[in-house]
Structure 1
Amino acid sequence: MKKRAGILACLPLLMTTPLAAQANDSVYTDLDTDHCKKLSAGDEPGGGVILMCKGYADHPVYYKEGDLRQAVLYGRVNAAYIDGTYETFGPFNYTGRKIEWRLDNAGKPFAAIQRWYISNSGPMEPGPAPTDTGQVLVISKVAGKDGTGCVVGYVDALSNDKPNLLARQIADRQAEIFTCEEDKAAFHGTRGPLATDPVHSFPQP
């Protein structure tokens, strides 16, 4: 309670930064890959890049791209996961810029929701998704003390009436109890034909 009181007292000083929110509420940040720290970059065609970007408070975002496919990790991810985890989709894809963070009752983010655009046929195009491109909300666990973060579930944003609400419900119910590499991320709600199969890669033991 003392911590929360201190946060509320400081709100007038924080108007230009993401604000703390009530439990089971959301805060939003933008993924700005133009102002990230480059951790690694492939020199060969199709080689991957890993960026560490600003997230929410002291929880960074790790953006990974290779072969026109993107993956994102959130929070204090350990080195093995930064290097060895890659969760994306089979077809070419790219992420939206807005990240929704779900907070616990202490104001700490435990889940993140971000939109992926999936190019199912033809070349990937920038801007608004073409008619052959799916849109999937990806719900992820924010890495905590154990340093592991991963995808918890998926919601087809084109086939459900209130996809953002459904994604929040999945985040609130599953993210904190989800065990990376053991539990399997699944689609929730209605899944249409443009929400193609995800792929998962984790660090080798």
Structure 2
Amino acid sequence: MKITAIIALALFAATAASAQITSRYTDLDDQKCKTLELDEEGGGSYKGECAGVGGYKLHVLEGDLRQSINVIAPGGKEHQLRLWEHFGAFSAVGPKAEWRLKGKAPFALIFRFNVSENPEDASKTTSYLIVAKVSPSLACVTEIIKPSRSQNAEARRAADRSATVPCKIAE
């Protein structure tokens, strides 16, 4: 009887802990973000500020047809995700960011990253999901999820364990 009660309590606690993780979505589309810098000369460059959650903001950066994201923590500290160091080809972030939260506090970020990996045809892209752990003192890429039928679920699992995973590139 006591063992059954202990097992039931443990299962309830585990379910309650996992139920606290939720998702919120914010826009990364340049039409919905504030333009901070724009230079259309030469290769062109862009820096836009997009709303986040929990006091965070995202800066979308573009230069030479390649994009990256910087995470701005609530205190103003800027963390570079350095996507250009993961992929050298032409690239673009997707239109939405998914924030993983425990309660109201974001702890991970997921976003789509489309990369033109075929030098013969730049219009053919591979669509990755980038997973980054997020805290006021650190934000970095922990996983790059390749396309698959279970890509979204795999990215959420990776995000939910991201706090214990090392950065792919150290800050």
Would you call these one fold, judging by a TM-score over 0.5? yes
Task: Report if aligned partners of 2:27, 2:50 keep a CA contact under 8 Å in 1.
Answer: no
CA RMSD of aligned residues (A): 2.5
User: Could you say which structure has the greater relative contact order, defined with CA pairs below 8 angstroms and 6 or more residues apart?
Assistant: 1
Distance change in 2, residues 1:59/1:161 (3 Å): same
SS of equivalent to 1:33:
coil
Aligned residues: 148
Give 2:164's match in structure 1, choosing from 158, 177, 182: 177
SS of equivalent to 2:160:
helix
Shift of residue 44, structure 1, vs aligned partner:
4.7
Q: Where does 1:75-154 land on structure 2 (aligned, <5 Å)?
A: 75-76=72-73, 78-79=77-78, 81=79, 86-88=82-84, 89-104=87-102, 106-121=103-118, 122=120, 124-125=122-123, 132-142=124-134, 144-146=135-137, 148-154=138-144
Distance change in 2, residues 1:149/1:184 (3 Å): closer
Calculate percent identity across the aligned residue pairs. Answer: 32
In the other structure, the counterpart of 2:50 is 53
For 2:93 and 2:170, the matched residues in 1 are separated by 18
Gap regions ≥5 residues in structure 1:
1-21, 126-131, 186-199
For 1:170 and 1:49, the matched residues in 2 are separated by 30
For 1:73 and 1:99, the matched residues in 2 are separated by 12
SS of equivalent to 1:149:
strand
Which residue identity lines up with residue 151 of structure 1 in the other structure? V
Shift of residue 29, structure 1, vs aligned partner:
2.1
- Asked if 1:68 corresponds to 2:65, the answer is yes
- Deviations along 1:40-83, one digit per CA (max 9) or x if unpaired, are 4456522533221112352211111111111113341624x45x
Structure with larger Rg: 2
Gap regions ≥5 residues in structure 2:
1-18
Which residue identity lines up with residue 78 of structure 1 in the other structure? K
